[in-house]
Chain A
Amino acid sequence: MASGMQEKQYTPSLLSFFIYNPKFGPREGEEEKKILFYHPIEIEKNEKIRNVGLCEAIVQFTRTFSPTNPAKSLHTQKNRQFFHEAEENYWMVMVVRNPMVEKPNKDGKPPTVEYQEEEIIVSNLFNGTFSRAFEAGGVELLTQKLEKFFYRYLQTLHLQSCDLLDVFGGISFFPLDKMTYLKIQSFVNRVEESLSLVKYTAFLYNDQLIWSGLEQDDMRILYKYLTTSLFPRHSEPELAGRDSPLRPEVAGNLLHYGRFLTGPANLKDPDAKFRFPRIFVNTEDSYEELHLIVYKAMTAAVCFMVNAAVDLNREFCEQLDSLVGPQLTLLASDICEQFNINRRISGPEKEPQFKFIYFNHMNLAEKSTIHMRKTASVSLTSVHPDLMKILGDINCDFARVNEDEEIIVKAMTDYWVVGKKSDQRELYVILNQKNANLIEVNEEVKRLCATQFNNIFFLD
């Protein structure tokens, strides 16, 4: 950078994103009908048609080589296109500009393939499947829905800061002792019994999951939505409200911090609206449409899911507020206290010696000491992006084989990167040890496994 020449750096960014269904405009001249959604919206119509046509052609062409498994992505010098058939005949295409440094020979592989899959499911969560919507209201309704959703969704997409964690799309679980966990169980069960409308419940603390009544796949998407979209939007007023006194609850004069994150912002407001976002779960078999009620007290958040056929009114919300508010407030402080005790027992945790990312495919549990804090827009990592890219590469290698394996990479600047795969678990460790040799690095990782992961079965 000391050189006079200004080094130009492009971060990966989204060029375009579109959804089409070739069945909707099979005849010449009707191509526009195929396009259900196009981002950016400003692009000229003909170019849209041209791009869609090109994608269609590529997919058709590659299908001749592999009828069941057509091309998933196309890498060109400047950009990379991802094709994904979300449902039969519904295609989603995403075009991403490659990151480039001055010498454009080293391209980072933004691990967006998986990411893309996920957003379809997120859309499913809020919209149901495409074909359902089509059956329900034809193309117009479908395009409307898509526009509404993706317009918002694409804004939450931050390709430049995507990394391995986004590939995993995991769930961070809150570490908790058995007794407090059982108390939460008891709380959830009692609330579900008293409010018989509630079909599923999920419990989060500190943006980490503790309990999910939803199935794992649905929870994964809901978790993503909560942590990347809903919670960040509400975190600001939370911080501001910390100094405000406890809200005195009229009924029973109980003090609590509970409030709705979805639905009515203020129950006392006579004009409060009792509308909640709707989500779709179990799309594979039973296909349920549910209201999503998110209620939060301090750092504990509970999602209550109620059958969408039921109209939720003020009475229900007040009942929920008076029932859940005080209990949740109490529980939240219990958890906080217990967590602090546990931390004290385990010793004052300094900056963790090891930088690692752990992911378990079985329960989607993720753990990272690399990420300081995941915020809405940027995920702060404590290591250089180049190292993060190596992690991505190792992950790609792991994905190719089924066997357990271990990869040790010596990166520049004295860093060692170790990737380990055992059964369904993956562990990535970054070590910074000058002049360490392979054996020493191996020993170090063994030590890490013995201390951090002594309660799980890790083959070495």
Chain B
Amino acid sequence: MSDEYYLELSENPVQFENASSVNNVFFDEANKQVFAVRSGGATGVVVKGPDDKSSVAFRMDDKGEVKCIKFSLGNKILAVQRTTKSVDFMNFIPDYPHLEFSHECKTKNANILGFCWTNWNEIVFVTDQGIEFYQVLPDKRTLKLLKSQSINVNWYMYCPETAVLLLSTTVQGNVLQPFAFKSATVSKMSKFEIELPAVPKPAKLSLSERDIAVATIYDQLYVMYLKHHSRSTNSPGAEVVLYHLPREGTCRKTHVLKLNTTGKFALNVVDNLVVVHHQSSQTSLIYDIKLRELDGALNVHQPVLPARSINPYKIHLTGPAAAPSQAPVPCELYSSSWSVFQPDIIISASEGYLWYLQVKLQPTLNLLQDKGKLMDFLLRRRDCKMVILSVCSQMLTGGDKGNLSVVATVFDKLNQVYKEYLDAEQAYTAAMESGPSRSSTSYKRPVRTQAVIDQSDMYTHVLSDFTEKKGVKHKFIIAVLMEYIRSLNQFQIPVQHYLYELVIKTLVQHNLFYMLHQFLQYHVLSDSKPLACLLLSLESTYPPAHQLSLDMLKRLSTANDEIVEVLLSKQQVLGALRFIRSVGAHDNVSARKFLDAARQTNDTMLFYTIFRFFEQRNMRLRGNPGFNQGEHCEEHVAYFKQVFGENALMKQATA
């Protein structure tokens, strides 16, 4: 059961002083910092970030209740909102005056709803009557208005990753107006309308900011709308509707996630998965918008996996009250004091914890039966490599042995990703070679994600174990290996020779030589020197391997020396000599090697022929039939004299 939890809280949460009557807690999504403000700052402000470096502690004067507090990027300037009319600033840049300065919003009678830092010195005030975009000049302790826009605002939402600000407008609040910020400029994007389940009469604010979240999924910005179940429409449960918000162009409704239940929900995005927490059942669901559903309707998605709770979490009590031996206490999950922030943050203000939500992939193996779908799912995850490999192993050797078409599907999916990476890598190399300056687009070296499962991964983690495994039918082993090779070929990926060796080894083990012969005949096992040598070694058990090996060496056309060696070892001295002559390399071969082989045949006529050939070669090359010192042929010259007599030696041509 314990390995069924596919969601978990990060092991090292950010801890802060829990919220209380004297301690207010704020969270800044942009810097992911938690602010613990004690007594309005008079007794100290403790800022905890995701790592120790971004943690700060300081004091400020208590000038009233803090409504909002945020650092600009890089902790340069602190902005604090205490009233609805103005925002106060403090420099945190070394050597700048640490004095607070205040700025009132420009629009008359407007109330400040909040503010967002878009850069280290750029800030947007969101008021109920529009936005004001300022540049902060810390040395002058003033703000300079860059741009303002007048619009009625119900509430706002900011996505720090993309620097997009979303404003809820109109009476019902369902018309959203996005703005994009980029170094001192602001651009108005096209507004869009969220379809409400029912239009209330008379019109009143019907879209709450609680039901809207903004996050990037697969590098695209989406606005997620939690559409609650309504009695008037016959939908069986609540839905999450995703609106794709492109940089340019109009926003469109693209995905619908079916929740199949009702109640209170919260949204997270982890590893490009949409996670929907359901409070009453204390479970969560995950959705992958790239996973295509079979029914083909407008990208309607069902949960990838059955609903499961987040992995139970235990808190180690610390501090003076806790004895070191004290057992950790279980933490209440899905507590009503939890706040959820995008993309993957869960905060328990009452307990003083900030967790990152994480996806565990291993449990998905048993929860998702459709291996093809499982592969699609895993290939898009971050830390997927070992899980994918274990899926492959399980599929081949596990009890629920997948059939070959499933195996084929999985291999094809893996190799598709592998091929895309290889192509990208190749394009990059080509672009680098042609000179980086020439191409206008700057090429980035393609990132090798974990989803790239190459042949050596498959070989080491899956295939070599699988072929060794007892109790697996060899027919199945060979079928699987061939299926992998087929898949590689289909994606035009050159097959590594160790895979061929595995095929050959398996075939040889089961005496399936004729099968091997046929594979070689159709060049399924591509030519290579190691393969040819492997074949040569099989000759004693399967004589045709000799012919196959020689053919392969011949086709390689870089293995002439090897061919000579093979022929000489077969005592085909004349054949070897004729071969080396036919490729035009007979002037460079070692005479001694041939003469040795000829001597071993005990065929004196053959020896004579070979000897005479080399005498003639010497003559042609050096004008003298004798052998050089370096050729070490003295022994053979002596033998020749002994058998045929001194006079049989070739005479030097007399001029």
Q: Do these two chains really belong together in a complex?
A: yes
B479 at the binding interface (Cβ < 8 Å): yes
Q: Which of A179, A211, A363, A365 is packed against the most chain B CB atoms within 10 Å? A: A363
Query: Is the CB–CB distance between B518 and A178 below 8 Å?
Result: no
Give complex CA distance A457, B553 in Å: 8
Q: Within 8 Å of chain A (Cβ to Cβ): is B403?
A: yes
User: Is A460 in contact with B582, judged by CB distance below 8 angstroms?
Assistant: yes
Number of chain B interface residues as a range: 35 or more
Complex Cα distance, B489 from A181, in Å, reads 11
- Asked if A178 and B551 sit within 8 Å, CB to CB, the answer is no
CA distance A231 to B347 in the complex (A): 77
Query: Residues 203-225 of chain A: 1 if any B CB is under 8 Å from the residue's CB, otherwise 0?
Result: 00000001111011001000000
B551 contacts A186, C-beta separation under 8 Å: no
Known: A193-B403, A455-B554. A212 touches B518 (CB 8 A): yes
Question: Residue on B with the closest CB to A211?
Answer: B518
Cβ of B550 and Cβ of A365 under 8 Å apart?
Answer: no
Cβ A182 vs Cβ B489 within 8 A: yes
Most B CB contacts (10 A, CB to CB) among A189, A194, A455, A460 go to A189
- Contact of B550 with A457 in the complex, beta carbons under 8 Å: yes
**Least Cβ distance of B10 to chain A in Å?**
44
Chain A residues positioned under 8 Å from B408 (CB to CB): 186, 190
- Cross-chain contact of B482 among A189, A365, A425, A460 (Cβ < 8 A): A189
The answer to whether A193 and B522 touch across the interface, beta carbons within 8 angstroms, is: no
Partner of A186, one of B486, B555, B579: B486
Is A181 a contact of B405 with CB atoms below 8 Å?
Answer: no
Across the interface, name the chain B residue whose C-beta is closest to A214: B514
| Complex contacts, A183 vs chain B, CB 8 Å | 486
Chain A residue numbers with a CB within 8 Å of B363 are: none
CA distance in complex: A455, B486 (Å) = 23
Q: How far is the CB of A231 from chain B (nearest CB, A)?
A: 21
Chain A residues, CB < 8 A from B403: 190, 193-194
B544 and A193 within 8 A (CB): no
Q: Are A424 and B547 in contact, CB atoms less than 8 angstroms apart?
A: yes
**Chain A residues closer than 8 Å to B183, beta-carbon distance:** none
Contact with A along B248-269 (1 / 0, CB 8 A): 0000000000000000000000
- Distance of A213 Cα from B475 Cα, bound (Å): 11
Q: Which residues of A contact B164 (CB under 8 A)?
A: none
A190 touching B563 in the complex, CB below 8 Å, given contacts A211-B518, A459-B575: no
Interface string of A167-196 (1 = CB under 8 A from B): 000000100101101110110011011100
A240 at the interface (CB under 8 A from B): no
Asked if B376 is at the interface of the complex by the 8 Å CB criterion, the answer is no
Q: What are the interface flags for A281-318 relative to B under an 8 Å C-beta threshold, 1 for contact and 0 otherwise?
A: 00000000000000000000000000000000000000
B489 cross-chain contacts in A, Cβ below 8 A: 178-179, 182
Please classify the interface of chain B as helix (H, G, I), strand (E, B), loop, or mixed, using the class held by over half of its residues.
helix
- Check if A399 is an interface residue, CB within 8 A of chain B: no
- Is B482 within 8 A of A363, CB to CB? no
Q: Known contacts A178-B524, A179-B490; decide if A186 and B517 are in contact (CB<8 Å).
A: no
Bound-state Cα–Cα, A21 to B503, Å: 47
CA distance A362 to B535 in the complex (A): 14
- A460 and B554 form a contact (CB under 8 A): no
B641 within 8 A of A: no
CB distance B514 to A215 under 8 Å? yes
Contacts of B8 in A (CB 8 A): none
Q: How far is the CA of A189 from the CA of B478 in the complex (A)?
A: 9
Q: How far is the CA of A194 from the CA of B479 in the complex (A)?
A: 13
Chain B residues whose C-beta falls within 8 Å of the C-beta of A423 in the assembled complex: 546-547, 550
**Which residues from chain B contact A424 at a C-beta distance below 8 Å?**
544, 547
Q: B482, A193: Cβ atoms under 8 Å?
A: no
**A424 → chain B closest CB, angstroms:** 6
Which residues of B lie under 8 Å from residue A212 when comparing CB positions? Answer: 514, 518
Question: Which B394-434 residues have C-beta < 8 A from chain A?
Answer: 403-405, 408
With beta carbons under 8 angstroms apart, the residue of A176, A182, A190, A459 that contacts B485 is A182
Partner of A181, one of B522, B548, B551, B575: B522
Determine the chain B residues whose CB is within 8 A of the CB of A365 once the complex forms.
521
Question: In the assembled complex, how far is the CB of residue A397 from the closest CB belonging to chain B, in whole angstroms?
Answer: 19
Cross-interface CB contact of A190 among B405, B515, B518, B522, cutoff 8 Å: B405
Chain B residues whose CB sits within 8 angstroms of the CB of A182 once the complex forms = 482, 485-486, 489-490, 524
B521 touches A173 (CB 8 A): yes
Q: How far is the CB of A246 from chain B (nearest CB, A)?
A: 24
Inter-chain contact A186/B521, CB cutoff 8 Å: no
- Quote the shortest CB–CB distance from A180 to chain B (angstroms): 9
Q: Which residues of A contact B (CB under 8 A)?
A: 173, 176, 178-179, 181-183, 185-186, 189-190, 192-194, 210-213, 215-216, 219, 360, 362-363, 365, 404, 423-425, 455-457, 459-460
Residues of B within 8 A of A (CB): 403-405, 408, 475-476, 478-479, 482-483, 485-486, 489-490, 514-515, 517-518, 521-524, 544, 546-548, 550-551, 553-555, 563, 575, 578-579, 582
